[in-house]
Amino acid sequence: MELSDDQQRGFRENGFLIFPNLFGEAETEALRADLGRMRDIESDHVVRERTGGLRTVFRVHENDGPTQSEPFHALSRSPRLLKPATQVLGDDDVYIYHSKVNTKVAIEGTVWLWHQDYGYWYWDGVPTSNMVTSMVLLDEATELNGCLYIVPGSHELGRLEPYADEETTSYKQWTIERERLVKVLKESPAPVPIVGGPGTAVVFHANVLHASGHNLSPRDRWQVYFVYNPVANKPTEVVNPRPDYVRSVNFEPIRPMDDGAILAHAATSA
Ligand code: SIN
Ligand code: MN
């Protein structure tokens, strides 16, 4: 799937692109089924809310480790995600920096505070912000169930220094100091809600400002994120690097799999 000139311009200007229904119902069903299988795993790769519900499952893109998954491995290498990512990055040799599924379960699922991903990836030693995240909705996302919001054009703000918030949720989050955030949000275009049916995808730049609210609805909001980084932009050595499941050291460039691989692998892992 080649991006048109208009789409490429849109990404440069807004810092993100939306692809409605990029994946079909059978594919999202297969992915959901495999995630269901992982729900009770006890591992540092799996984060729960303070109230116990599943919040995040990390590292679903490899064929090894506690959260390995053949369908998610295939999704991470799908040409429908990989081609646009390499195009906007301007580099064919990319590896996966990390992956995660955020489940944000009905009623219980809590917020993701305003942040830029490169805010903390910079502290991981990544030299530049030329990285993208491709997110795929596995459920319908609505404003009520805590969809993601993206501030258009915010990648042009450069990196806003973050701080660690360890109070708001069960998971330490990097966010931006309140006064700065209020000023930036007042001066920016209105945040865009990333709503849509399962299979919808969005690709966004690592400096895009984004957040999501609590899930007030009776329905889960499952979304998967793959972060693509050019091998040329791999992290430099840092003291106490974060673990592999959030900052991968598998720098081998990934290659596209067959477009039918998600369903083919769903069948073999069932
Ligand atoms: C994130 O930005 O890391 C997650 C946001 C979300 O799942 O709503
Ligand atoms: Mn993020």
The predicted pLDDT at position 267 comes to 59
Its sign, for the CA torsion 213, 14, 119, 183, is: negative
Mean pLDDT, rounded, for 170-176: 93
Q: Give the pLDDT confidence of 212-247 residue by residue, as tens digits.
A: 999 999 999 999 999 999 999 999 999 999 999 999
- Could you tell me if residue 118 is inside a domain? yes
**Nearest protein CA to atom 3 of ligand 1, as residue:** 112
Mean pLDDT, rounded, for 186-209: 98
- Could you tell me if residue 254 is inside a domain? no
**Residue 99 near residue 205, CB atoms below 8 Å:** no
Residue 177: phi and psi, rounded to 5, are -55, 135
Among 132, 220, 225, 226, which residue has the most ligand 1 atoms within 8 Å of its CB, making it the best to mutate? 225
- Asked whether residue 3 carries a pLDDT value surpassing 70, the answer given is yes
CA of 5 to the centre of ligand 1 (A): 28
Q: Which residues contact 82 (CB under 8 A, 6 or more apart)?
A: 94, 228, 254, 256
DSSP reduced 3-state for 113: strand
- Could you tell me if residue 18 is inside a domain? yes
Tokens of 83: 């081609």
Which residues, chain by chain, have CB under 5 Å from ion ligand 2?
A: 117
Tokens of 139: 């459920």
The predicted pLDDT at position 269 comes to 53
Q: Give the pLDDT confidence of 99-130 residue by residue, as tens digits.
A: 999 999 999 999 999 999 999 999 999 999 99
Residue, of 269 and 87, whose pLDDT is higher: 87
Share of the chain above pLDDT 70, in %: 99
**Residue 227 near residue 132, CB atoms below 8 Å:** yes
Atom number of ligand 1 nearest to Cα 147 = 8
The predicted pLDDT at position 33 comes to 95
The predicted pLDDT at position 266 comes to 83
Q: Which residue range(s) make up the domain with 41?
A: 5-234
pLDDT-derived band at 91 (thresholds 50, 70, 90) equals very high
Mean pLDDT, rounded, for 188-205: 98
- Could you tell me if residue 252 is inside a domain? no
pLDDT-derived band at 37 (thresholds 50, 70, 90) equals confident
Q: Give the pLDDT confidence of 242-266 residue by residue, as tens digits.
A: 999 999 999 999 999 999 999 998 8
The predicted pLDDT at position 1 comes to 77
Cα diameter, the chain? 52
Average pLDDT, whole number, for the chain?
Answer: 96
**Nearest protein CA to atom 1 of ligand 1, as residue:** 112
The predicted pLDDT at position 92 comes to 97
CA–CA dist 56, 194 (Å, integer): 19
Q: Give the pLDDT confidence of 121-160 residue by residue, as tens digits.
A: 999 999 999 999 999 999 999 999 999 999 999 999 999 9
Query: 170: closest CA among 92, 53, 72?
Result: 53
Tokens of 99: 């992956």
Give residue ranges with CB within 6 A of ligand 1.
102, 112, 148, 210, 212, 223
The predicted pLDDT at position 128 comes to 98
The predicted pLDDT at position 114 comes to 98
- Could you tell me if residue 264 is inside a domain? no
- Could you tell me if residue 48 is inside a domain? yes
- Could you tell me if residue 72 is inside a domain? yes
User: Can you give the pTM of this predicted structure?
Assistant: 0.97
- Could you tell me if residue 89 is inside a domain? yes
The predicted pLDDT at position 39 comes to 85
CA of 64 to the centre of ligand 2 (A): 24
Q: CATH number of the domain at 81, please.
A: 2.60.120.620
Give how many domains the chain has, as a whole number: 1
CA of 268 to the centre of ligand 1 (A): 30
**Nearest protein CA to atom 7 of ligand 1, as residue:** 102
Mean pLDDT, rounded, for 47-63: 95
Among 57, 99, 102, 223, which residue has the most ligand 1 atoms within 8 Å of its CB, making it the best to mutate? 102
Tokens of 179: 């006064």
CA of 114 to the centre of ligand 2 (A): 8
CA of 243 to the centre of ligand 2 (A): 17
The predicted pLDDT at position 140 comes to 98
